[in-house]
Every structure is written in C-alpha cells, then in structure tokens.
Chain A
Amino acid sequence: MASLFTGFMTDTWVAATMVAVVAGVVGFFVVLRGSSFVAHAIPHGSFGGAAGAALLVGVDGTILGISGTIAGLFVFAVAGALGIGWLGRRGRHDVATALSLVMMLGLGFLFLSWSGQYADALYSLLFGEVFGIPASDLLPMAVLGLLCVVGIASLFRPLMLSSVLPEVGEARGVRAGWVETGFLMVVALATTMTVPVVGVLLMFSLMLGPAAASRSVTSNPRAALAMSVGIAVLTVWIGIVLSYASNWPLGFFVGVSGAVWFVAGRAWAWRRRIRGVPLAA
C-alpha cells in the first residue's frame, strides 16, 4: 500500500479531496432546495461539452492553454444551467431540466459519433478517472473549487432565506430568480471541476449522499454543512483505497456509498426517534 501515497498518487489525493469538499458544500444546498434533478442533470449534460472538445482538439488537446475537457465541460455546464433556468421560468421546472439534459447528452453522442473515439474516452468521462488526473489540471481545479466555496459562502444566508421562506425573501429584496440563477452557476462550476474525477454519472451521488446523511444527524445548518463536507471527503478517501486495491471504477464506490450514507442517516434518525432523544443542537 506504500505506493498509494507516492508519485502521481499525491495528485490523485489532492484532486479527490478538493472534489469532495466542493461536492459536500454545494450538495448541502442541493438537498436543502430539493434540486436533486438539477444536480444530476448539469453534470450529466456537461458530458456533451467534453465530447465536443475531444472532437475539436482531441482527447488530450488544450483550448487557450486549458485542458480541452475542462473547457468543454465548463461551456456545457454553464449553458445547461442557464438553459434550465430560462426554460424553467417558462414551463414546469422538472420538464425543463429533463429536456435540457437529454438535449445536451444527445449533442454529446453526436460529437462522439463524429470523432469516432468511442469506448475508452467515453467510459472515463462517464465514470471518472481518478488515477489519471494530469498535474496541470490541479491549478484550474483549485481555482474553480475556490470560486464554488466562495460563491456558496457569500450566498449562504440569502440561499437559506429563499429556500425556507421564499415570500419573505422577495419582500426583503432577495429575488428568488437571481438566487436560483446564482446557485445554478455554482453547480455548473462545481460540475466542471469535479466531473473529470468522479465522472458525469456519479457526481450527483457525491453531492446528495453526504448532505442527506448529515441533516439526519444535526439540526444546526452550519454543523450540517461541515458534516456534509466531512462525509464527502471520507467517501472519496475510502473510494480511492478500494478502487486502488480492486481496480474497479471509483464511481462504483461513490455511487453505492451515496445510498449507504442515506440509509445510515435514516437509521440514525429512526433510532433517535424511538429512544425519544431530541436532535442535537
């Protein structure tokens, strides 16, 4: 196991930890606002951007000095966030999300079929490739991650207010539409940096599972946020070790652990209830 902590594995640990922190922070609000579908759709759809970039500059190419994959993910994630926001104001939100999602995925499939580079590149995009993160990707990832955390930290109270009491928020100048758009942009940024590591299919699992578990344990919103980050980091660390040992994709461990955390949280809350112990402050 010594080689788990040497050479390129250091980059893996750093990248995965950054990803987990961002997923935990953003996931807290995804769960609070009931945006599970959006959190699934934006990363998922962003796959189209990566496929498009692969078509334009090749799988390992760069655009303006940035990895093509990251640039492509960014463009599609932001476009998806804006599209969902725009369509969602004009029709049903879940329908808007579903259709934006399939449209972006369909484009991704089109690009893939043009470039003819199916299997391997696609597979690592869908399910993540934690052991192949190039060292040059770490800096853009760190910058994007920092933006996400700063974004959530500055929007924390308006997001809380508009999630809990939207009418009061409106009356006090917190416009629900703007808060929603800002939040979708943060999800888009988080997507861009996390997808290369965890994959488009399972990014949202890392957002939902830890946040769902943490709110079964504590009622203090700031403590729940911190705990959600902690659980996400733990999930990714365990996933790396298991993935390294078994050679199975990291996405498998992340996806399954999401459900495990959720069930564990429910069990905890249930045990509390039958014992009559009030939730910790």
Chain B
Amino acid sequence: MGAVSAIFAAGFFQNGSVHAALLAGAVAALVTGAVGTFTVLRGQSFAGHATGEVAATGGSAAMLGGLNPLWGYLGIAVIVAGAIEALGVQRPRARDLATGLVLGAGLGIAGLLLYLDTTGTSTSGAAVTVLFGSLFAVTRSALPGMVALGGVSLALVVLTYRLQLLTALSPDLAAARGVPVRLVSLAYLLSLAVAVSLAAETVGAVLATALLIGPPATALRLTKRPGLAVLGSGLIGVAAAWAGTVLAYDSYYWPPAGRSWPPSFLIVAVVFGLYLGSGAVQRVRGRRRAPLAPGAVPAATA
C-alpha cells in the first residue's frame, strides 16, 4: 500500500477530471499508436506531423466559433491529409517539400486566426490550449465522441491491415497484386486524420507527433513482426499517456513548487525516454547476435 500511495497521490482515483484524462489519453494513444505504425513504415513522419500542426488552424477556428476544438481539428486534418495525398508526389524529397509548404500556409492562417481570436475575445489561453493541449481540461461530454471516432479509425486500420502493410512496404508491389492502392491510402489518411485529432485534443496539436511517431518507432525497434508492432505501439502509447498523467498529478508537489507540471510535457518525455531505451535494447541485442567491428559494415549503397 505504501508503494502504491507513493506513486498515486491522494485523491488520484477519486478525481473526475483524472478519470476523463486517463480515458481520453488511452483512446488517443491507442489509436495514434496503431495508425502511426504505418506512418513510420511509410516514412511519412513529416506529413503526419504537418497534419497535426495544421489541425491547429481548425482547432483555433472552432474555438473562435465557440465549439469543441476536436471538431475543428478533425475537419482540417481531413483536408490537409487529402491535400498532401492529392498532390500525389511520390519522390520523398519533393513530397517533404510539398508537405512543408502546405504546412506553412496552414500555420500562417492559424496565426491569423489566433491573432483575431486573442484580440477579439481576449481569451489569451487559446493559443496554448490549441498548440499544447490541456489534458485535465478534457470534459466528460467530449468522451463519447472521442471513443466513437477512435473506434472507427481503429476499425479502418484493422480491417485493411494486410493491405496497409503491403502498400506501406511497396506501393508498386501492392498495385501489381491488385490492391486498390489509392483507396487503401485514403483509408490510411482518414484514420490518420482521426488519430491526430484525438492526439491534438489530449497533448495539443504540436505535440501530437510524439504519440504518432514515438510509440511505433519504439515498437518497430523491439519486434520484427508487423502485427505485434501495431499492437505493441498502441500499448506503449497508452502506457506513456497514463504514466504522464500520473506524473502530472504527482508533480503538484515537485519543484518549482506550487503548480503542476503539464501532462503534455510529461507524456512526451516518457515517449522520448522509451525510444532512447529501445535503441539501447536494440544495440545490446545486436551485439549479442553478431560481433561486428565498428566500421566493418559497408554503407547501404554497397
């Protein structure tokens, strides 16, 4: 009991906003982790990040209209993901460039909206909430919508799992085997848009990338089996989200005293730590398997 109370500060399990935070964090992390596996396999971290960040535009627009930012995130995320896909650029360098410019335009508009938002209604916390999230402010009324959206997104990924995998590994190979590549990509992008919106609601539009990329990258380092990676990545995400929430609740007593640490930061820190840890595990395993002299490995071009 002593150990438990050392980890979970008094009132943790009685607090309503903690319940909401734990549930919202779990849903967001599970969906984002599963979908993010394909983002990492496709090598589209930047596009995933851009989708989340431009979603800030929608979030701020929704706040300007007095709506829950979630719907704003979702609307814009769908548009951005669609725009990046519609540009249809396949070469990685050119795709990153197109992504960057879509992102730039979206952020410019977000800046304008936030500017109008802050000067018009003097809700000065808007920028902070939209960009960095406020997990403990997630209301119970938002939860059913989040769970439903997350369920749809997860179902999309699970139903098209094998098609997604083949398309991520080689679009040409998938097309040759009769996979409707564009349709599969569309399903991926829709679930990405939902996942990123959920993550934006919990850790903020800017930090959504942490949940989207961190757990999948960690899982992919630990297992070679793609199915296990999808599952593991979801679970790692949930673990990170919950650990961050618990730490944030505890942090009220940490220095510099008087104010809790933001859960968004703690979640990101846990995700980052897990990624570094998985790298160490991978290196130890690699050393055990094949004793390689440093520098003996030829370059990838060999």
Contacts and interface: CB of A to CB of B under 8 A. Distances in A.
A37 B132 contact: no
Interface string A91-105: 110110111011101
Given A106-B210, A119-B124, A252-B111, A167 B104 contact: no
Nearest to B268: A106
B96 A37 contact: yes
Contact of A258 (B44, B105, B111, B204): B105
Contacts of A170: 299
Contact of A118 (B44, B45, B111, B128): B128
B104 A94 contact: no
Interface string B266-284: 0011011001000100000
A103 B259 CA distance: 21
Interface stretch (A15-23, A122-130, A180-188, A222-230): A122-130
Given A94-B43, A126-B131, A258-B105, A202 B207 contact: no
Contact of B109 (A94, A109, A256): A256
Nearest to A116: B259
A208 interface: yes
A167 B300 CA distance: 10
Nearest to A40: B100
A24 interface: no
B12 interface: no
A37 B50 CA distance: 9
Nearest to B53: A201
A248 interface: yes
Contact of A252 (B109, B209, B213, B268): B109
B45 A249 contact: no
A205 B101 contact: yes
Interface residues of B, number: 60
Interface residues on A, range: 35 or more
A123 B108 contact: no
Contacts of A262: 97-98, 101
A237 interface: no
Given A92-B43, A105-B207, A122-B127, A113 B107 contact: no
A43 to B, nearest CB: 12
B111 A202 contact: yes
Contacts of A167: 299, 301
A244 interface: no
The SS class assigned to the B binding surface is helix
A109 B99 contact: no
A251 B107 contact: yes
Contact of A91 (B43, B46, B279): B279
A113 B259 contact: yes
B19 interface: no
Contact of A253 (B48, B96, B108, B217): B108
Nearest to B262: A113
Contacts of B118: 119, 123
Given A99-B272, A255-B108, A259-B105, A91 B217 contact: yes
Contact of B209 (A102, A116, A119, A259): A102
B269 A256 contact: no
Contacts of B268: 102-103, 105-106
Given A34-B94, A91-B279, 8 more contacts: A44-B206, A109-B132, A166-B301, A208-B100, A251-B107, A251-B108, A255-B104, A255-B111
Interface of A: 31, 33-34, 36-37, 39-40, 44, 90-92, 94-95, 97-99, 101-103, 105-107, 109-110, 112-114, 116, 118-120, 122-123, 126-127, 166-167, 170, 199, 201-202, 204-205, 208-209, 212, 248-249, 251-256, 258-259, 262
26 contacts: A37-B49, A90-B279, A97-B45, A99-B272, A99-B275, A102-B213, A102-B268, A102-B271, A109-B207, A113-B265, A118-B127, A119-B124, A119-B128, A120-B124, A122-B127, A122-B128, A123-B127, A126-B111, A126-B131, A127-B114, A166-B301, A167-B301, A251-B111, A253-B108, A258-B101, A258-B105
